[in-house]
Amino acid sequence: MDLLTALRTHRIVAIVRGDDADAALRTVLTLAEEHFPLIEVSLSGKDTLDVIRRARAALGSGAPLGAGNVLTAQHAQAVRDAGADFVVTPAVCEAVTEAKRLGLPVLAGVMTPSDIVAAQRLGADAFKIFPAAQAGGPGYLKALHGPFPDAPFVPAGGVDADAASTYLAHGATAVGVGSPLIGDAADGGSLDALRERVRAFRDAVCASASADPTR
């Protein structure tokens, strides 16, 4: 898949992480039904590889499906075999190199300029600023755009709907959103409530198009 084009088009990566594999699968399918197509299933959840396999079978081969918290070469191989077609890492690690070797695009976790340069050298397709809130929020994103004006940044970590709108207005290519969007859906919570949160984040993307980043 063309990860960078998908990030620029959809602007939000939903991060699904839960202790109930069946609920996590239902969450993935609900997000897809709500036309929220960029979905990452985190390896920190329960039975993640099975969730990815079942989601791939249900969604078909054309739907973007990622695996998150991928750290090792073995992780990269396992998620590829399960049906993931992009990889998200929390750091610059061996999974970046292995995923690229396997032909999978990578959203690599970075924090510092040194991390960004290292991830660029390994061939990462985009850069997840993580944890974004602790790194300094939109101000830090703006600062990174100075030395890296063309780098596709995806802030993640503590990104609610308001923060998503602000990051996008300040030049983020996309944002990664976990619990503020997913809530308890991946642990068996209400899918109707998930649908309401999806609408709130969709509104945030629309609002970012007209927001003034200087405010």
CA distance 31 to 20: 16
Q: Which two tokens stand for residue 24?
A: 């996590």
46 CB-side CA count, 13 A:
10
CA quadruple 31, 75, 119, 3: dihedral positive or negative?
negative
Going by C-alpha positions, the residue among 136, 182, 191 that lies closest to residue 161 is 182
> Among the options 33, 34, 94, 128, which is catalytic?
128
Coil/strand/helix, residue 96: helix
Query: Which residues are CB-neighbours of 33 under 8 A, at least 6 positions away?
Result: none
Active-site position among 40, 46, 100, 196: 40
40 as an active site residue: the answer is yes
Q: What are the phi and psi torsion angles at 201 (to 5°)?
A: -70, -35
Alpha helices in 48-136 (DSSP H): 48-59, 73-82, 94-101, 113-122, 132-135
Give every CB contact of residue 149 below 8 A, 6+ residues apart in sequence.
none
At 102, which amino acid appears? L
**CA distances, 118 to each of 96, 108, 115 (Å):** 10, 10, 5
Residues tagged active-site: 40, 128
